[in-house]
């Protein structure tokens, strides 16, 4: 049946900010869905709170709302836009939950909005664990024995019946959020209590354990005519008990016989039919011997579907969107072959391997154990013709400080870690193999199939061969197994360059193969490549002008989706200019790795060698390193050196020179530059040894900010207050980065921090926006809420800021983007750092001002002048846009939810309105930190903050909020005329503040930590706020903004306008 | 062990040998399913062919000896990118290397199978010679060129049973003419309680009629359907007398018996992902296929056969049905391994036609 004629306008609900369990995959899926629907002439209305996405670009959809993803707000958008249908399955769990809520509230019926694709009943059947169990039983599919419960007491009864351990799964949560393995009754109580709180319907499932079984997944699609296909089978290397998002996953299945594969495939199809899903779904099975259980069905696109799309080349979201508006699979062309339809099953002739990327480098106190709940922020995928190759490529794609062979554990630790793994599992297995453990023993302890462990052993065996023999044949085999020149050099005691030369002399060249959905059975039209050491290379270089853009790799804290946004924009800009644009990247969740984003996609790790191989194959005229965040910037200098070493290659690094980048990155050089320009900076110096550091700190005066040079997201950055502190720090920091010195800066207390994004063509400087941070200096800029335009700075200060930006940018001879961070204290503007590259605020600036900075930068880098592009003046704006961050504390048990110089946030949201208070209110709402307009606020502040708390407390009291506080704060406020009740601290006994929080008696927590280190009590209060899902604020600035926001909301409504409407107001001056 | 693969166009690919030492002659064909190598190797329809898997890692779960489609390996040779020396599966009894060695079949690995697949796709199926124990490329090419094309080979006689045998059931009696029948077809019938008599490909009409069959099933098998002369004549004789069902080669035999034509496909359909569309309902099923020949749809105009199913990728004929008589056929494998189980329905459709006990 062709497209439904009654569907002319469709609402797509996005997934909101990047958080653990919900990364860039929904930007990829949502963007694909928008394209797919618009191709069919359907008008698309999109709502998403995350400005850092491609889907919220004005070009992606017809009407875009950057608004909080709350049912009441989406209802207003529906009332305004009157869409014919809603596509629920593109925005992950968030999209499904909101659609369910809208249906339950009668909004969909009232405005006659049809749920497209998967019906709501199917959503309920899969999300409500009890209904799911019954749905499976009706069709004779086995699920683990389980019972849905609404209380702890019920949970304990069931657990006694099933026997411990049991799995606890809350209904309607994402990424296994709130779930866990309960091995004891105490653990059970704890997990169930939190799980009930986190479930939208306060229900958890107590489930029989299938720990240690194989975990197998199928991505299935179905259309209205009941045609079903499986897009991809995936096998988790890690067994049941570790969330699939936390597992190493391979595609296709590797250790299953055809009988087993067909058994599960048939079951998956039976399930999608029984549930009546129209579109895609993911079915997870546990398998042991001939037995299997259905674990879970996700009736929507997911991280797995993104992985399956990238693994096979089959665009699941695109096809699902078309099915949703009535098309059938055989009416949708296979985009890859163009000639065959989408009604086939992809088959692949390579192996795909995915490894998650975890944030434990940022959260030293967090529990690193891998379990049923997700803790990773992103993932990498690698494609190879051997599993060894995919594995080694994936490991180096992670961009972490470890490679196979690193790490050290004693026998006892190895055994423990094999049984209860952490993020280091792969390295532990390698180490165990190196230290006498047999494949069988490791398999027995870890429940990982011996096939995979054997592959690791093959790598080890090859290393031993390489150490003895470096013949051409050995080298060829090693390359086929994914060894880099650098690794071979390390193993053989030679230089990387030597191995590289030897390899090229021996004619061992990288070949590129196509990802084509059909194992070469049909000719593919899509330019999606991976490298392998084979006979035939399928890349045919054109003689067009070409540019290679280096992507950002996995989503991690400090390097999020913003850099993928920048990468994609650079591509779009160059394609507009008629330049053939290539991308190299390794993150399967992203828009940049969609095969139709660029002219050629190289799905590869982002190391010097992998990038050089592409350059050798394609001979682009230029390569761009400034869009992919620190990962690509770090490649600038080595790449330049390697290109110099290779006179046969004429490729140049486009934009700001690596030398200038180096000046900005090197604190010493940068400091000299500022001195020359006469621009104030906090006193600073760099230290290479402990004594050095102590002396400098003494000279500058405590507190000081210490950090290693070349940092990403403020890694290992800290404010230290005394000598003891600095000693401890130096021990840790030096371990983090031994090649570069430690920087010691004077810390500007209570200063206002500013971020500026700008573009320069070498002559002119375009300021994108000046952003004022809401949190004070000292809190990492990536973690601070900020606002465009600045709210508290004088015009004179802003002028100084602009002058400094221009001076620094021109002095650094920037061609392209630059981000400069400053702090204002007592009307003096200090420059903290400058990064001549894309920044995480670029998309936010673009959405707030309508100026596409990344695109402009890309065009400047290929030689256009700003004036010629028509962007010479800083854009004046009428609206206020607040960026707020999303923190992962709720997903990381044990981590202290406090902000500091180390970046901790995973994602961001934007609130936009005509004044700061309302924009801030929206931003907080979007960040799932809804500010209460009634109820009780708990206040506890450090002494320095108490004076400021008076005004805040009064405002809250005046609008009818009830206040309670700890004794010190309460007395201080009472003395100053605030009505506030005292509640006991935790150590003062029961009932105390956490008891009250647990009972739901507190609607907002304001707790500013003591200045030196978080006191235990403060930590427990903040932790409880996180655990019981209560909005919380930890800085006085945010508290002040919150009070004003609540007052404003009490007085008037927020504005609901599309980004197009806002931008029209700006440009139709 | 040295090994070399030579093609009739002069292509020479050197690799590593496994399995038996020796020479294999046949057409080089590729299959795109990533599981089911044990079933494929023992599928008699691959006789006369050197099978190449497009998935690069083969042998991961070893050989169980439980999923054979006939008593042993029927392909002439085996080409893979990488063979697994350390299979991992509780049911595995040997490695692929050991299996091929025992069966006397040469194999070659460490070759760029994707390149060979693209070559086959572009040039069409080519005759090939696989030599193990030696890597004389010229000799391999020579041997590739010298052999007869598959259309001239009588392969059926090599894979059919020597004597009739019975698999008892309580339902209708089927005579299965064994043109190289896959075990799973017989299992599929048994599951439906069919009383099966399997007869050799050269069985006479009289021999068949003596079993008083309720229906005739013409099985799958290797090579050019024009070589199945006896089967074509038997089918012709039985049209209108008893219901006839054909699978794979048997489907082509029915078409020929009723006056249609067949032709050789450029490189065939071999894999578990072939979409087949039911002409009446518009529904699409994913099927397993292994065929290098197809029924010419234009030639059906003058016959009483009607196309019931087509391949969605290239519109080739996948299913036929007689306009008035209980005769139907499928080009793909209904309920055959390695295979998706989407199309058990066509077995049942046939059972319904003959009034049997549809499962």
Tell whether A695 and A777 lie within a shared domain.
no
CB contact under 8 A, A349 and B56: yes
Residue A1066 lies in a domain: no
Give the domain-ending residue among B115, B147, B179: B147
Residue A291 lies in a domain: no
Q: Where are the alpha helices (DSSP H) in A22-70?
A: 25-39
Residue A522: list chain B partners with CB under 8 A.
Answer: 121, 313
The answer to whether the beta carbons of residues A601 and A528 sit under 8 Å apart is yes
Does residue A1042 have a cis peptide bond before it, meaning omega lies within 30 degrees of 0? no
Tell whether A691 and A617 lie within a shared domain.
no
CB atoms within 10 A of CB A407: 14
pLDDT confidence band for A736 (50 / 70 / 90): very low
**DSSP state, residue A976:** T
The answer to whether the beta carbons of residues A522 and B313 sit under 8 Å apart is yes
The 10s digit of each residue's pLDDT in A265-309 is 999 999 999 999 999 999 999 999 889 999 999 998 988 999 999
pLDDT confidence band for A177 (50 / 70 / 90): confident
Residue A1015 has pLDDT above 90, yes or no: no
Of residues B186 and A1, more confidence is placed in B186
The CATH number of whichever domain residue A440 belongs to comes to: 1.10.1030.10
Tell whether A723 and A648 lie within a shared domain.
no
Angle at A712 between CA A709 and CA A717, to 5 degrees: 60
Cα distance between residue A23 and residue A32, in whole Å: 16
Report B:20-39 residues touching A (Cβ under 8 A).
30, 32-36, 38-39
Q: Which domain holds residue A861?
A: 752-877
Give the domain-ending residue among A168, A193, A209: A209
CB contact under 8 A, A347 and B61: no
CB contact under 8 A, B34 and A269: no
CB contact under 8 A, B275 and A255: no
For the beta sheet containing A180-182, the strands, ordered from the edge strand earlier in sequence to the opposite edge, are A146-149, A204-208, A166-170, A180-182
Give the pLDDT confidence score for residue A202 in this predicted structure: 83
Tell whether B221 and B285 lie within a shared domain.
yes
Range of weakest confidence among A271-280, A307-316, A685-694: A685-694
Residue of A226, A259, A329, A342 for testing the chain B interface, max B β-carbons within 10 Å: A259
Residue of B7, B31, B32 for testing the chain A interface, max A β-carbons within 10 Å: B32
CB contact under 8 A, A257 and B271: no
Residue B358 lies in a domain: no
Cα distance between residue B96 and residue B108, in whole Å: 12
Report B:34-63 residues touching A (Cβ under 8 A).
34-36, 38-39, 54-57, 60-61
Of residues A676 and A737, more confidence is placed in A676
The CATH number of whichever domain residue B341 belongs to comes to: 3.40.50.880
Tell whether B296 and B323 lie within a shared domain.
yes
Tell whether A56 and A98 lie within a shared domain.
yes
Range of weakest confidence among A208-222, A328-342, B12-26: A328-342
User: What's the whole-number average pLDDT of chain A?
Assistant: 91
Residue B346 has pLDDT above 80, yes or no: no
Give the pLDDT confidence score for residue A987 in this predicted structure: 74
Residue A1013 has pLDDT above 70, yes or no: no
Give the pLDDT confidence score for residue A197 in this predicted structure: 78
Average pLDDT over residues A698-717: 74
Range of weakest confidence among A585-594, A775-784, B235-244: A775-784
Give the domain-ending residue among B147, B174, B201: B147
Residue of B57, B271, B285, B290 for testing the chain A interface, max A β-carbons within 10 Å: B57
The domain tally of chain A equals: 7
Give the pLDDT confidence score for residue A733 in this predicted structure: 60
| CB-side neighbour CA atoms (13 Å) of A513 | 28
CB contact under 8 A, B312 and A454: no
The answer to whether the beta carbons of residues B306 and B278 sit under 8 Å apart is no
The 10s digit of each residue's pLDDT in A24-63 is 899 999 999 999 999 999 999 999 999 999 999 999 999 9
The 10s digit of each residue's pLDDT in B266-301 is 999 999 999 999 998 888 889 999 999 999 999 999
Give the pLDDT confidence score for residue A710 in this predicted structure: 60
Q: Can you state the angle between helices A472-480 and A496-505, rounded to 10 degrees?
A: 110
The CATH number of whichever domain residue A156 belongs to comes to: 3.30.1490.20
CB contact under 8 A, A257 and B38: yes
Report B:87-116 residues touching A (Cβ under 8 A).
87-91, 111-115
Tell whether B166 and B307 lie within a shared domain.
yes
The CATH number of whichever domain residue A584 belongs to comes to: 3.40.50.20
Tell whether A925 and A845 lie within a shared domain.
no
CA torsion sign, A85 to A91 to A92 to A96? Answer: negative
Cα distance between residue A36 and residue A333, in whole Å: 12
Tell whether A611 and A742 lie within a shared domain.
no
Residue A1068 has pLDDT above 80, yes or no: no
- Give whole-number Cα distances, A587 to A305, A399, A553, A571, A612, in Å: 14, 12, 5, 16, 19
Shortest alpha-carbon distance between residue A652 and chain B (Å): 33
Give the pLDDT confidence score for residue A401 in this predicted structure: 86
Residue B238 lies in a domain: yes
- Read out DSSP for A694-732? HHHHHHH-SSEEEEESS-STTTT-EEE-SHHHHHHHHHH
Average pLDDT over residues A461-487: 96
Tell whether A821 and A711 lie within a shared domain.
no
Residue of B37, B60, B266 for testing the chain A interface, max A β-carbons within 10 Å: B60
Residue of A342, A520, A524 for testing the chain B interface, max B β-carbons within 10 Å: A520
Tell whether B197 and B319 lie within a shared domain.
yes
C-alpha of B169 from chain center: 25
Give the domain-ending residue among B109, B126, B147: B147
Q: Which of B91, B273, B337 sits opposite A347 (nearest CB)?
A: B273
Cα distance between residue A245 and residue A555, in whole Å: 13
Of residues A249 and A900, more confidence is placed in A249
Report B:115-144 residues touching A (Cβ under 8 A).
115, 117-118, 121
A227 CB near a chain B CB, below 8 Å? yes
Residue A1039 has pLDDT above 70, yes or no: yes
Question: What residues form DSSP beta bridges with A962?
Answer: A936
- Residue B216's nearest CA partner among B168, B201, B300, B229 is B201
Range of weakest confidence among A381-395, A846-860, A973-987, B174-188: A973-987
Residue A787 lies in a domain: yes
CA torsion sign, A385 to A388 to A393 to A397? Answer: positive
Tell whether A917 and A1044 lie within a shared domain.
yes
Cα distance between residue B170 and residue B172, in whole Å: 7
Residue B161 lies in a domain: yes
pLDDT confidence band for A901 (50 / 70 / 90): confident
Residue A173 has pLDDT above 70, yes or no: no
Tell whether B262 and B337 lie within a shared domain.
yes
Residue B90 lies in a domain: yes
Report A:433-472 residues touching B (Cβ under 8 A).
439, 449-451, 454
At residue B126, φ and ψ (nearest 5 deg) are -120, 150
Give the pLDDT confidence score for residue A735 in this predicted structure: 54
Tell whether B197 and B276 lie within a shared domain.
yes
Residue A1027 has pLDDT above 60, yes or no: yes
The domain tally of chain B equals: 2
Residue B116 lies in a domain: yes
Residue A500 lies in a domain: yes
Tell whether B80 and B41 lie within a shared domain.
yes
The 10s digit of each residue's pLDDT in A788-799 is 999 999 999 999
CB contact under 8 A, B35 and A345: no
Name the strand (E) or helix (H) holding A638. Answer: helix A636-645
Residue B53 lies in a domain: yes
Share of chain A above pLDDT 90, in %: 71
- Which position has the token pair 């302890």? A445
Q: Which of B81, B313, B337 sits opposite A259 (nearest CB)?
A: B337
Residue B340 has pLDDT above 60, yes or no: no
At residue B245, φ and ψ (nearest 5 deg) are -130, 140
Residue A182 lies in a domain: yes
Give the pLDDT confidence score for residue A998 in this predicted structure: 80
Residue A269: list chain B partners with CB under 8 A.
Answer: 342
Give the pLDDT confidence score for residue A873 in this predicted structure: 87
The CATH number of whichever domain residue B18 belongs to comes to: 3.50.30.20
pLDDT confidence band for A174 (50 / 70 / 90): low
The 10s digit of each residue's pLDDT in A851-883 is 999 999 999 999 999 999 998 889 999 999 999
Question: What residues form DSSP beta bridges with A549?
Answer: A583, A624
Give the pLDDT confidence score for residue A322 in this predicted structure: 96
Tell whether B143 and B160 lie within a shared domain.
no
B339 CB near a chain A CB, below 8 Å? yes
Report A:813-872 residues touching B (Cβ under 8 A).
none
Give the pLDDT confidence score for residue A508 in this predicted structure: 96
CB atoms within 10 A of CB A876: 9
Could you give the dihedral angle defined by the CA atoms of residues B35, B39, B43 and B48, in that order, rounded to the nearest 10 degrees? 60
CA nearest to B115 within chain A: A536
Tell whether A44 and A161 lie within a shared domain.
no
Tell whether B213 and B239 lie within a shared domain.
yes
Range of weakest confidence among A225-229, A347-351, B115-119: A225-229
The answer to whether the beta carbons of residues B217 and B195 sit under 8 Å apart is no
Report A:289-348 residues touching B (Cβ under 8 A).
289, 328-330, 340-341, 343-348
Q: Which of A329, A348, A454 sits opposite B284 (nearest CB)?
A: A329
Q: Which domain holds residue B336?
A: 156-353
pLDDT confidence band for A540 (50 / 70 / 90): very high
Residue A336 lies in a domain: no
A254 CB near a chain B CB, below 8 Å? yes
CB atoms within 10 A of CB A31: 28
The answer to whether the beta carbons of residues A87 and A99 sit under 8 Å apart is no
Tell whether B97 and B204 lie within a shared domain.
no
Residue A577 lies in a domain: yes
pLDDT confidence band for B359 (50 / 70 / 90): very low
Give the domain-ending residue among A478, A505, A532: A505
The answer to whether the beta carbons of residues A32 and A315 sit under 8 Å apart is yes
Give the pLDDT confidence score for residue A1014 in this predicted structure: 45
Residue A351: list chain B partners with CB under 8 A.
Answer: 56-57
Residue A956 lies in a domain: yes
**Complex ipTM value:** 0.95
B277 CB near a chain A CB, below 8 Å? yes
Give the pLDDT confidence score for residue A507 in this predicted structure: 94
Q: How many beta-carbon pairs under 8 angstroms link A with B?
A: 161
Tell whether B278 and B319 lie within a shared domain.
yes
Give the pLDDT confidence score for residue B337 in this predicted structure: 42
Tell whether A941 and A1047 lie within a shared domain.
yes
Tell whether A917 and A1025 lie within a shared domain.
yes
CB contact under 8 A, A345 and B340: yes
Tell whether A918 and A960 lie within a shared domain.
yes
Cα distance between residue A14 and residue A9, in whole Å: 16
Average pLDDT over residues B304-309: 96
Give the pLDDT confidence score for residue A1063 in this predicted structure: 92
Give the pLDDT confidence score for residue A363 in this predicted structure: 81
Residue B142 lies in a domain: yes
CB contact under 8 A, A257 and B115: no
Range of weakest confidence among A275-289, A386-400, B105-119, B342-356: B342-356
Share of chain A above pLDDT 70, in %: 97
Tell whether B75 and B137 lie within a shared domain.
yes
The 10s digit of each residue's pLDDT in B34-66 is 999 999 999 999 999 999 999 999 999 999 999
Residue of B5, B35, B314 for testing the chain A interface, max A β-carbons within 10 Å: B35
- Read out DSSP for A68-86? ---HHHHHHHHHHH--SEE
Give the pLDDT confidence score for residue B347 in this predicted structure: 74
The answer to whether the beta carbons of residues A606 and A43 sit under 8 Å apart is no
The 10s digit of each residue's pLDDT in A185-231 is 999 998 898 888 777 778 888 989 899 999 999 999 999 999 999 99
- Residue A710's nearest CA partner among A746, A676, A759, A743 is A743
């Amino acid at each position: 049946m062709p497209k439904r004629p009654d569907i002319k306008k469709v609402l797509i609900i996005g997934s909101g900010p990047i958080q653990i369990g919900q990364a860039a995959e929904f930007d990829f899926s949502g963007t694909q869905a928008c394209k797919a629907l618009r191709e069919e002439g359907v008008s698309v209305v999109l709502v998403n709170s995350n400005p850092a996405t491609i889907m919220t670009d004005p070009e992606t959809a017809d009407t875009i709302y950057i608004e909080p993803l709350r049912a009441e707000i989406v209802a207003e958008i529906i009332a305004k836009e009157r869409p014919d249908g809603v596509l629920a399955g593109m925005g992950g769990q968030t999209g499904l939950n909101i659609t369910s809520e809208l249906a339950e509230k009668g909004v969909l019926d009232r405005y006659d909005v049809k749920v497209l694709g998967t019906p709501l009943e199917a959503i309920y059947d899969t999300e409500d664990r009890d209904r799911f169990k019954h749905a499976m039983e009706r069709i004779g599919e086995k699920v683990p024995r389980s019972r849905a419960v609404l209380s702890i007491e019920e949970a304990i009864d069931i657990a006694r019946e099933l026997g411990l351990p049991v799995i606890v799964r809350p209904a309607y949560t994402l990424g296994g959020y709130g779930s866990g393995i309960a091995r004891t009754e105490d653990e059970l109580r704890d997990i169930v209590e939190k799980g009930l709180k986190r479930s939208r319907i306060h229900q958890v499932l107590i489930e029989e354990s299938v720990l240690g079984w194989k975990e197998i997944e199928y991505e299935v699609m179905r259309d209205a005519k009941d045609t079903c296909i499986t897009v991809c089978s995936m096998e988790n290397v890690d067994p049941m008990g570790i969330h699939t998002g936390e597992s190493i996953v391979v595609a296709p299945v590797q250790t299953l016989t055809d009988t087993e594969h067909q058994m599960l495939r048939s079951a998956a199809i039976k399930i999608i039919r029984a549930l009546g899903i129209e579109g895609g779904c993911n079915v997870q099975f546990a398998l042991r011997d001939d037995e299997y259980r259905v674990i879970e069905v996700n009736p929507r696109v997911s991280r797995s579907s993104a992985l399956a799309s990238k693994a096979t080349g089959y665009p699941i979201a695109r096809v699902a969107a078309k099915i949703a508006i009535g098309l059938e699979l055989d009416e949708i062309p296979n985009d890859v072959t163009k000639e065959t339809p989408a009604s086939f099953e992809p088959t692949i002739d390579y192996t795909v391997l995915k490894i998650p990327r975890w944030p434990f480098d940022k959260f030293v106190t967090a529990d690193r154990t891998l379990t049923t709940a997700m803790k990773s922020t992103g993932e990498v995928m690698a494609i190879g013709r051997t599993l060894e190759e995919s594995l080694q490529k994936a490991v180096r794609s992670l961009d972490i400080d470890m490679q196979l062979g690193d790490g050290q554990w004693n026998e006892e630790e190895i055994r423990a870690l094999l049984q209860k793994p952490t993020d280091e599992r792969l390295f532990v297995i390698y180490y165990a193999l190196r230290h006498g453990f047999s494949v069988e023993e490791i398999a027995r302890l870890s429940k990982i199939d011996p096939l995979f462990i054997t592959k690791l052993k093959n790598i080890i065996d090859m290393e031993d061969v390489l150490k003895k023999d470096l013949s051409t044949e050995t080298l060829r085999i090693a390359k086929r197994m994914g060894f880099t020149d650098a690794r071979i050099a390390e193993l053989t005691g030679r230089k990387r360059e030597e191995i590289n030369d030897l390899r090229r002399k021996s004619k061992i060249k990288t070949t590129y193969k196509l990802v084509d959905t059909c194992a070469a059975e049909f000719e593919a039209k899509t330019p999606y490549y991976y490298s392998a050491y084979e006979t035939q290379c399928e890349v045919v270089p054109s003689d067009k002008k070409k540019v290679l853009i280096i992507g950002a790799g996995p989503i991690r804290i400090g390097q999020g989706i913003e850099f993928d946004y920048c990468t994609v924009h650079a591509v779009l800009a160059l394609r507009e200019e008629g330049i053939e644009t290539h991308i190299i990247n390794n993150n399967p969740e992203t828009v940049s790795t969609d095969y139709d984003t660029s002219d050629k996609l190289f799905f590869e790790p982002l190391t010097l060698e992998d990038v050089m191989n592409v350059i050798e194959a394609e001979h682009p005229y230029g390569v761009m390193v400034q869009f992919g965040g620190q990962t690509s910037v770090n490649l600038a200098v080595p790449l330049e050196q390697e290109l110099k070493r290779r006179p046969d290659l004429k490729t140049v690094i486009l934009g700001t020179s690596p030398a200038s980048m180096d000046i900005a990155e090197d604190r010493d050089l940068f400091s000299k530059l500022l001195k020359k320009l006469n621009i104030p900076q906090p006193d600073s110096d760099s230290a290479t040894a402990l004594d050095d550091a102590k002396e400098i700190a003494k000279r500058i005066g405590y507190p000081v900010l210490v950090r290693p040079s070349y940092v990403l997201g403020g890694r290992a950055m800290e404010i230290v207050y005394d000598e003891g502190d600095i000693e401890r720090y130096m021990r840790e920091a030096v371990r983090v980065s031994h090649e570069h010195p430690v920087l010691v800066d004077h810390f500007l207390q209570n200063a206002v921090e500013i971020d500026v994004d700008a573009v320069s063509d070498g002559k002119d400087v375009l300021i994108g926006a000046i952003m004022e941070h809401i949190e004070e200096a000292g809190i990492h800029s990536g973690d601070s809420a900020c606002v465009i335009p600045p709210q508290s700075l004088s015009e004179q200060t802003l002028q100084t800021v602009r002058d400094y930006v221009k001076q620094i940018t021109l002095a650094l001879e920037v061609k392209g983007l630059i981000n400069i961070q400053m702090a204002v204290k007592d009307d003096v503007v200090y420059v903290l750092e400058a990064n001549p590259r894309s920044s995480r605020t670029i998309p936010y600036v673009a959405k707030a001002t309508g100026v596409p900075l990344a695109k402009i930068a890309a065009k400047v880098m290929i030689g256009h002048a700003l004036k010629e592009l028509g962007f010479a003046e800083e854009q004046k704006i009428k609206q206020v846009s607040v960026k707020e961050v999303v923190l992962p504390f709720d997903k990381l048990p044990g981590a202290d939810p406090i902000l500091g110089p180390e970046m901790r946030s995973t994602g961001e949201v934007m609130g936009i309105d005509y004044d700061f208070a309302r924009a801030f209110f929206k931003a907080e709402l979007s960040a799932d930190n809804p500010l209460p307009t009634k109820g009780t606020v708990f206040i506890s502040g450090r002494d320095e903050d108490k004076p400021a708390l008076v005004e805040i407390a009064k405002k809250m009291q005046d609008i009818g909020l009830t206040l309670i506080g700890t004794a010190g704060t309460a007395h201080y406020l009472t003395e100053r005329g605030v009505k506030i009740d005292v509640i006991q601290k935790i150590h003062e006994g029961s009932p105390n503040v956490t008891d009250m929080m647990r009972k739901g008696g507190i609607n907002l927590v304001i707790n500013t930590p003591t200045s030196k280190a978080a006191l235990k009590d403060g930590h427990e209060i903040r932790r409880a706020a996180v655990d019981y899902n209560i909005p919380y604020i930890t800085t006085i600035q945010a508290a002040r903004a919150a009070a004003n926001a609540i007052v404003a909301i009490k007085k008037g409504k927020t504005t609901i306008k599309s980004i197009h409407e806002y931008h029209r107001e700006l440009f139709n001056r | 062990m040295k090994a070399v693969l030579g093609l009739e166009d002069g292509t020479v690919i050197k690799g590593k040998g496994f399995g038996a030492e020796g020479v294999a002659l046949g057409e080089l064909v590729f299959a795109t399913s990533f599981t089911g190598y044990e079933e494929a190797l023992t599928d008699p329809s691959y006789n006369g062919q050197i099978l190449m898997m497009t998935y690069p890692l083969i042998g991961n779960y070893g050989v169980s000896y439980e999923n054979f489609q006939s008593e042993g390996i029927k392909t002439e040779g085996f080409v893979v990118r990488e063979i697994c020396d350390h299979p991992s599966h509780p049911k595995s009894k040997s490695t692929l290397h050991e299996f091929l060695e025992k069966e006397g079949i040469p194999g070659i690995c460490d070759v760029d199978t994707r390149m060979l697949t693209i070559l086959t796709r572009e040039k069409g199926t080519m005759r090939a010679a696989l030599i193990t124990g030696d890597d004389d490329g010229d000799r391999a090419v020579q041997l590739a060129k010298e052999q007869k094309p598959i259309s001239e080979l009588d392969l059926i006689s090599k894979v059919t049973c020597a004597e009739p045998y019975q698999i008892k059931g309580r339902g209708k009696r089927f005579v299965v003419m064994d043109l190289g029948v896959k075990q799973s077809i017989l299992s599929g019938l048994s599951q439906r309680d069919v009383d099966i008599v399997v007869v050799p490909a050269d069985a006479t009409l009289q021999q068949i009629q003596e079993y008083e069959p309720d229906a005739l099933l013409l099985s799958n098998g290797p090579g050019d359907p024009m070589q199945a002369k006896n089967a074509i004549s038997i089918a012709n004789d039985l049209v209108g007398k008893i219901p006839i069902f054909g699978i794979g080669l048997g489907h082509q035999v029915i078409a020929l018996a009723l006056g249609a034509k067949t032709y050789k496909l450029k490189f065939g359909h071999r894999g578990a992902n072939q979409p087949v569309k039911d002409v009446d309902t518009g529904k699409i099923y994913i099927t397993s296929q292994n065929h290098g020949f197809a029924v010419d749809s234009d030639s059906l105009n003058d016959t009483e056969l009607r196309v019931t199913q087509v391949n969605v990728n290239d519109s080739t004929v996948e299913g036929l049905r007689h306009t008035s008589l209980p005769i139907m056929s499928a080009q793909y494998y209904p309920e055959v391994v390695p295979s998706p189980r989407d199309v058990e329905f066509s077995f049942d459709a046939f059972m319904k036609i003959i009034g049997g006990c549809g499962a």
